[in-house]
């Protein structure tokens, strides 16, 4: 699959990049995509939620009324969850939401996500670029040239570039990552995936294993 290579001004450079059929043109596996996205979102959860149960509430342990003869249910402690100020019954406890997925399934999910974006014509190949200093204004100019000012965009670099990353950090709709940080969620969450030429080899070598 051949795609035109654009420059940072959005103009065609006259060159074409070859996208691997095994990565950008497979039959998407929707269940693999679902599992990988589910794992990503689960890993974002801190799991620090906690509610006090009756054993943790400060209060008297005196039996609050006699066992029989009141016409109502028996009650042994003011800390019971049925009373105001009592402990919560079966409340949330700290837990870890993460779960394991096989590497082969995660690779399949990422290839499926890239194939979905490629079929939607939402993958752009951009020639490698850098900035002399970190300036949001410079990155905004690139977005404007590519027509992405009002769209969510994901820029995938071949290697870490501090100036490009810092220039994009204040922009809510854009994210800059390296080819090793690519994930199914980030691919699908973006309206447009911009792959720099230097990232293609890394993406295809990581996902073709």
The pLDDT tens digits of the residues spanning 18-49 come to: 899 999 999 999 999 999 999 999 999 999 99
Q: Which CATH class is domain 2-45+98-207?
A: alpha beta
Q: For 110-168, how does the pLDDT look when each residue is reduced to its tens digit (9 = 90+)?
A: 999 999 999 999 999 999 999 999 999 999 999 999 999 889 999 999 999 999 999 99
Question: CA 150: distance to chain centroid?
Answer: 20
Question: What residue spans define the domains of the chain?
Answer: 2-45+98-207, 47-96
DSSP string computed for the chain:
-EEEEE-TTS-EEEEEEEPPHHHHSS---HHHHHHHHHHHHHHT---------GGGS-S--S--S-SSSSSS-----TTSTTSTT-PPTT------------HHHHHHHHHHHHHHHHHTT-EEEE-----SS--HHHHHHHHHHHT-TTS-EEEEESS--HHHHHHHTT-TTEEEEEGGG--HHHHHH-SEEEEEHHHHHHHHHHH--
Backbone angles phi, psi at 52, to 5 degrees: -75, 135
Asked if residue 56 has pLDDT above 80, the reply is yes
The token pair that represents 205 in the structure block = 């070598």
Average pLDDT over residues 3-20: 90
Q: What is the rounded distance in angstroms from the CA atom of residue 33 to the CA atom of residue 156? A: 19
Q: What is the mean pLDDT of residues 95-120?
A: 95
Dihedral over Cα of 12, 196, 163, 148: its sign: positive
Q: In the predicted model, is pLDDT for residue 209 greater than 70?
A: no
Radius of gyration of the chain (CA): 27
Percentage of residues in the chain having pLDDT higher than 90: 84
Q: What is the mean pLDDT of the chain?
A: 93
Q: What is the pLDDT of residue 133?
A: 93
Contact 142, 6 (CB under 8 A): no
């Amino acid at each position: 699959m051949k795609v035109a290579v654009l420059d940072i001004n959005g103009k065609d450079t006259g060159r074409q990049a070859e996208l691997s059929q095994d990565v950008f043109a497979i039959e998407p596996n929707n269940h693999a995509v679902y599992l990988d996205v589910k794992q990503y979102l689960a890993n974002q959860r801190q799991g620090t939620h906690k509610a006090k149960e009756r054993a943790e509430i400060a209060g008297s342990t005196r039996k609050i009324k006699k066992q029989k003869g009141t016409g109502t249910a028996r009650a042994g402690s003011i800390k019971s969850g049925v009373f105001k100020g009592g402990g919560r019954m079966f409340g949330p406890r700290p837990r870890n939401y993460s779960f394991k997925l096989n590497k082969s399934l995660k690779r399949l999910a990422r290839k499926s996500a890239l194939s979905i974006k490629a079929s939607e014509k939402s993958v752009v190949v951009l020639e490698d670029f850098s900035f002399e200093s970190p300036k949001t204004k410079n990155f905004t100019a690139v977005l404007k040239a590519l027509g992405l000012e009002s769209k969510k965009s994901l820029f995938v670099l071949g290697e870490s570039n501090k100036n490009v990353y810092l220039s994009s950090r204040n922009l809510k709709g854009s994210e800059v990552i390296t080819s090793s940080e690519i994930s199914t969620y980030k691919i699908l969450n973006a309206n447009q995936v911009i792959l720099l030429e230097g990232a293609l080899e890394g993406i295809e070598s990581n996902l073709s294993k």
